């Protein structure tokens, strides 16, 4: 039977400890919340760029809420409380007899579709960054 010799497993054990520390639930939750908030603010910037300006009120009133966990899902809201925001977004009837139609601008709809397409690229970048931080001994952020 061949002799295998000695092998030092300490580096593997250290790697396992590092990954175990990274998988701390609070670290993962903080990562998810930070990432979703970053994406929400990216979406808000896109939405504001697409929002038409007359008085500037509609563009100024876009807001991003807090990231909340609901069951197994996380949610962040982006909204605009301006009374006429839905009419600008989706379109509306106009004229004395309401027979004319003003097309919607779909500033939020289009922006959110763009964010959904870009999301995997940003997520991969942030996950790589997190793993690099962990592997290089930089402690992940905790709540």
- Residue predicted with more confidence, 46 or 136: 46
Residue 31 has pLDDT above 80, yes or no: yes
Average pLDDT of the residues in 71-94: 95
Min mean pLDDT across 49-53, 70-74, 98-102 is at 70-74
Residue 131 pLDDT: 81
What would the two tokens of residue 117 be? 């397409």
**Residues of the chain above pLDDT 70, percent:** 85
pLDDT band at 117 (very low <50, low <70, confident <90, very high): very high
Report the distance separating Cα 31 and Cα 127, nearest Å. Answer: 9
Average pLDDT of the residues in 43-71: 97
Q: Residue 93 contacts by C-beta under 8 Å, 6 or more apart in sequence?
A: 99, 100, 101, 102
Residue 8 pLDDT: 60
pTM of the model: 0.79
Q: Are the CB atoms for 134 and 22 separated by under 8 Å?
A: yes
Min mean pLDDT across 8-12, 92-96, 105-109, 132-136 is at 8-12
Residue 24 pLDDT: 72
Domain boundaries in the chain?
26-135
> What is the CB neighbour count within 10 angstroms for residue 49?
10
DSSP lists the bridge partners of residue 94 as: 100
Distances (CA, A) of 30 to 14, 36, 66: 24, 10, 13
DSSP string, 89-143: HHEEEESTTS-EEEEP--HHHHHHHHHHHHHHHHHHHHHHHHHHHHHTTPPPP--
Residue 140 pLDDT: 60
DSSP-based three-state secondary structure for 69:
strand
């Amino acid at each position: 039977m061949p002799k295998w010799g000695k092998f030092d497993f300490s580096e593997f054990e250290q790697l396992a400890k590092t990954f175990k520390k990274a998988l701390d639930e609070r670290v993962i939750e903080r990562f998810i919340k930070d990432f979703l908030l970053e994406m929400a603010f990216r979406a808000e910037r896109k939405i504001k760029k697409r929002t038409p300006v007359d008085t500037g009120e509609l563009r100024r009133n876009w807001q991003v809420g807090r990231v909340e966990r609901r069951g197994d899902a996380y949610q962040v809201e982006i909204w605009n409380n301006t009374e006429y925001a839905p009419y600008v977004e989706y379109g509306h009837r106009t004229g004395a007899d309401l027979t004319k139609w003003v097309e919607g601008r779909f500033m939020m709809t289009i922006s959110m579709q763009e964010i959904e397409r870009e999301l995997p690229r940003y997520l991969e970048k942030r996950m790589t960054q997190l793993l690099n931080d962990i592997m290089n001994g930089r402690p992940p952020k905790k709540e």
